[in-house]
Amino acid sequence: MLVAVLFGTFAVSLMLGVPVAISLALASMVYLLLEGIDLSVVPQFMYAGMDSFVLLCIPGFVLAGNLMNGGGITDQIVRFSSAVLGHIRGGLGLANVGGSMIFAGISGTAVSETASIGAVMIPAMKKAGYSGGFAAALTASASTVGPIIPPSVPMIIVGTLTGLSVGRMFMAGAIPGILMGLGMMLTCYIIARRRNYPKGKWAGFAEIFRSGKAAFWAILMTAIILYGIVGGIFTPTEASIVASIYAFLVGMFIYKGFTLRDLPRILLNSAIGSGALILLVGFANLFGWILTSEQIPQAIAAYMLSLTENKYLIILMVNALLLIVGTFMETIAALIILFPPLLAVATAVGIDPIHFAMIAVINLMLGLTTPPVGICLFVAGNIARVPLGTVAREVVPFLLCNIIVLMLVSFIPAISLWLPSMMFD
């Protein structure tokens, strides 16, 4: 009965538009009060959830992303992508996806990528003759590669929960992320030809060289992070600090996009964003402890294994569950609550933990663009000033494309496991 109250309070809070972190807190508090449990457990389990060295990656990468974005890196990335791809039919759309793939190496989060890239590309695409719904849907879909191509905040959370190697997961996401980007480019090109969307003029090799030189510093940042982690030079947490220092130096002295006077604003925005994520982790850990005490994860695992022990059917069931959950629940909260029990099911039927982590993260990223809720659809729709229903209709081809990539990653483990094995083994 109390479990029903727990989930009921959580669901009602979400439907009322209460932030996910507060919804988790409200549901947990109601349960604890009805159960008669001392509320002193609240700060205990919140602190236990947040007390992780790996979680220090989050404020580091958030700050690095804000510094690079404030330094004008988004404009440079878009300029480079447009120079390379703008002369093809639907070139601005292709540049949108290409820019997101490059920006993924900085942000690590989908929503921030939607806002950053979308603020530049959506108005430009509308001005060039693309429909607002198409521009918004493409931007939202392309942003989902952000947490898959390393670095990735969701993968950091998974590493915190399970002890899996964050470096291995970073490497495991590279090929799936590239496949998603290429698939969306192909989809965009096909739609652009059918709708006769415009193509720009060939910019010339000189412009490609100039814009590539400007975007080089963003690409180099990703290379430094990955080489440092894979080469054992520094841990993922140390990598986030290196990235922040690098972003400060590049943004201040190379791009000259901000001054010392702008730093307090950037630091404050980074602190607010990081604090919200860490608070969400704390409340989700409390919620997860309640579920564990009620043996909900064990019940889910037992039920799934009672239905079948076939590895491929389990993968299909997990994909269906996470795609649905991802449409209405924030990614980090969903990972904290669902990933441990589902990982137990996966390992029981012989699925590699790193492979399963990729399946889970990709699923939840697609949920961000899955109607009717998909938060990235809201963000992109607001920028484009078009109704959510219009964006939802336009996103279907890109969503189907990404689901195909998800199926390939799910049933061909080598796509996600080959690169980690080459780098680490």
pLDDT for 398 equals 94
Per the structure block, which two tokens stand in for 350? 């012989």
In tens, the pLDDT along 115-124 reads: 777 777 888 8
**Which CA distances in Å does 90 have to 117, 132, 142, 165?**
17, 14, 15, 39
pLDDT for 404 equals 95
pLDDT for 415 equals 95
In tens, the pLDDT along 282-317 reads: 887 888 788 878 877 778 778 888 888 889 999 999
Half-sphere exposure (Cβ direction) of 184: Cα atoms closer than 13 Å: 35
With a cut of 60, say whether residue 382 has pLDDT above it: yes
Exposed e or buried b per residue across 138-169, where buried means at least 16 C-beta atoms within 10 angstroms of its C-beta: bbbbbbbbbbbbbbbbbbbbbbbbbebbbbbb
Across 372-395, average pLDDT: 82
With a cut of 80, say whether residue 390 has pLDDT above it: yes
Phi/psi of residue 204, each to 5°? Answer: 95, 155
Of all residues in the chain, what percent carry a pLDDT higher than 70?
Answer: 94
pLDDT for 54 equals 66
Per-residue confidence at 59, pLDDT binned at 50, 70, 90? confident
Give one DSSP letter per residue of 167-198, joined into a string: HHHHHHHHHHHHHHHHHHHHHHHHHHHHHT--
Q: Are 54 and 229 in contact (CB under 8 A)?
A: no
Please state the separation of Cα 34 from the chain's center in Å. Answer: 36
pLDDT for 206 equals 81
Of all residues in the chain, what percent carry a pLDDT higher than 90?
Answer: 17
Per-residue confidence at 71, pLDDT binned at 50, 70, 90? low
Per-residue confidence at 108, pLDDT binned at 50, 70, 90? low
In tens, the pLDDT along 170-228 reads: 889 989 999 999 999 999 999 999 998 887 777 777 888 888 877 788 778 777 777 77
Across 39-67, average pLDDT: 79
- Mean pLDDT over each residue of the chain, to the nearest integer: 83
With a cut of 60, say whether residue 107 has pLDDT above it: no
Across 81-106, average pLDDT: 78
